[in-house]
Amino acid sequence: MSVSRDLVERWVALAGVEAEGIGVGVIGRYGEAHRRYHTETHLAVMLAAIDELGGAASDIDAVRYAAFFHDAIYAVARADNEERSADLGRDILESLGAAPELVEEVVRLVVLTRGHKPLPGDANGAVLCDADLVVLGGSPEQYAAYTRAIRAEYAHVPDDLFRAGRASVLRNLADQPRLFRTEMAYARYEAVARANLAAELAELTGETD
């Protein structure tokens, strides 16, 4: 199995060299053939964003573990990927002898990525969710590449059904008072992300404000 050495080193920094093989297995999941966006590249971008935003977190190790596990199980036809990924994280961290409070926080954070709605005061959740959403604040070219990758993951879904489902996801995001909860990410990405969401929604639905 060929996986990113940089990601393996990030995992080893968290879990220790004795857990390297387990980390290779977790990271290898991001290389599954059906993935086009939820890949090693997404994980690497997310970890880099956590590095930048992590000063706001109360347990940066929990946030980084949650990043590794958050898309470890990704099946486009299922609605319980986050829960299954959280269960995998629990099993692995318990097998490594992680502290129970760390395990529970990682599980909570992974499930939180389903809706990206951390409660006020949830510093760890804010950092993780913001890192997962930084793609929304990319340049038009970056955002277009992201939407193409998402569509490719759902290539088996007819256009009309995909458009309706994707529009629903985007509206749920756009209806939030803030997309980004940390001050740094809000200042850096919020306005651009909302413009990108509005443009994609208009393309999907033909509706304009």
Domains of the chain: 5-205 (1.10.3210)
Using CA atoms, how far apart are residues 194 and 145, in angstroms rounded to an integer?
17
121-133 burial code (b ≥16 CB/10 A, e <16): ebbbbbbbbbbbb
How confident is the model at residue 146, as a pLDDT? 98
Contacts 24+ apart (CB under 8 A), 189-196: 189/130, 189/133, 189/134, 189/136, 189/137, 190/137, 192/136, 192/137, 192/138, 193/133, 193/136, 193/137, 196/136, 196/137, 196/138, 196/140, 196/143
Q: With a cut of 80, say whether residue 207 has pLDDT above it.
A: no
Q: Are 161 and 169 in contact (CB under 8 A)?
A: no
How confident is the model at residue 206, as a pLDDT? 84
Q: With a cut of 70, say whether residue 209 has pLDDT above it.
A: no
How confident is the model at residue 1, as a pLDDT? 63
How confident is the model at residue 53, as a pLDDT? 97
Using CA atoms, how far apart are residues 14 and 8, in angstroms rounded to an integer?
10
Q: Are 123 and 141 in contact (CB under 8 A)?
A: no
Q: With a cut of 80, say whether residue 195 has pLDDT above it.
A: yes
How confident is the model at residue 118, as a pLDDT? 96
Using CA atoms, how far apart are residues 131 and 170, in angstroms rounded to an integer?
17
- pLDDT over 90 percentage in the chain: 96
- pLDDT over 70 percentage in the chain: 99
Q: What is the pLDDT of residues 76-126, one digit of tens each?
A: 988 999 999 999 999 999 999 999 999 999 999 999 999 999 999 999 999
Q: With a cut of 70, say whether residue 75 has pLDDT above it.
A: yes
pTM: 0.95
Q: With a cut of 70, say whether residue 71 has pLDDT above it.
A: yes
How confident is the model at residue 208, as a pLDDT? 61
- The predicted model gives 32-60 an average pLDDT of 97
The Cβ of residue 92 has, within 10 Å, a number of other Cβ atoms equal to 22
Among candidates 151, 127, 129, 141, which has minimal Cα distance to 37? 151
Q: What is the pLDDT of residues 149-185, one digit of tens each?
A: 999 999 999 999 999 999 999 999 999 999 999 999 9
Of the pLDDT bands very low, low, confident and very high (cuts 50, 70, 90), residue 20 is very high
